[in-house]
Homo-oligomer: A and B are copies of this chain.
């Protein structure tokens, strides 16, 4: 589910779960394990990418809506573990946002070091509310750090999907590139960091990201249980079911 492509010293981890790289507990676990393996192998920097035109479609709602309580709990657990792994990554991770990136597709890059997005007719945003899921507090905090409290409030509450250009303007991404060059730009960005004195860069990076790591340094058990429970709210279930029915109808045409 994760394709590994080494570009010199930099390793690309490409989400590979067609058609839209929707997130399941398995995919999230595979990504986290690929990150850990890279660190063990001494890889100095990572690029997180997706398919051309489809970076990541967020949680796999059609699959998740059929799961039982234990499996839903496991999915939330894995999402939090993955976000924590990104926030605490000992090596830089550049997100090469190769296309559409709603919900989870916007969330994973929030905790990376850099966000380079394909300039084109793509959408991103934290539209969890629109599918009936309250945006988890750790994600609200990550969003606040990235775009400031005012824009974080707007994006989180309205669940609006925006264009790459608007995302660049408000700081939700850092850079746009032609679709075909997004991965190369992300690799090049990693290489500029690797050209710096290694220890000074690492120490400064740790300090500059300390406020992001702090989001996960609290006890998140209660918050996680709350998210797990909220999945079964009648409103959430009803909304998810009608979203999934709409998605299936669209796929059938």
User: Which residues of chain A have a CB within 8 Å of any CB of chain B?
Assistant: 92, 113-114, 128-135, 137, 140, 144-154, 156-159, 171, 174, 192-193, 196-201, 203-205, 207-212, 230, 233, 235-236, 239
Q: Which residues of B contact A207 (CB under 8 A)?
A: 134-135, 137, 140, 156
B150 and A146 contact, CB distance less than 8 A: yes
- In the complex, which residue of chain B has the Cβ closest to the Cβ of A230? B203
Contact of A156 among B145, B153, B208 (CB under 8 A): B208
Q: How far, in angstroms, from A208 to B151 measured CA to CA in the complex?
A: 10
Task: Tell me the dominant secondary structure on chain A's binding face.
Answer: helix
Residues of chain B lying within 8 A (CB to CB) of residue A92: 157
Contacts of A135 in B (CB 8 A): 204, 207-208
Residue in B closest to A136 when the chains form the complex, CB atoms: B207
- The answer to whether residues A133 and B200 also contact, given A146-B150, A153-B113, A208-B140 and a CB cut-off of 8 A, is yes
How many copies of this chain are found per oligomer? 3
A132 in contact with B197 (CB, 8 Å): yes
Chain B residues lying within 8 Å of A140, measured Cβ to Cβ, are 204, 207-208, 210
Smallest CB–CB gap between A11 and chain B, Å? 19
Is B211 in contact with A134, judged by CB distance below 8 angstroms? no
Q: Which residues of B contact A210 (CB under 8 A)?
A: 140
Cβ contacts under 8 Å, A196 to chain B: 129-130, 158-159
Determine if A204 and B130 form an interchain contact, defined as CB atoms under 8 angstroms apart: no
- Of the candidates B113, B208, B230, the one whose C-beta lies within 8 Å of that of A152 is B208
- 9 closest Cβ contacts across the A-B interface? A134-B203, A153-B208, A132-B197, A156-B208, A135-B204, A129-B200, A199-B235, A157-B205, A145-B149
Q: Which residues of B contact A150 (CB under 8 A)?
A: 145-147, 171, 174
| Residue with the highest number of chain B CB atoms closer than 10 Å, among A159, A192, A204, A209 | A204
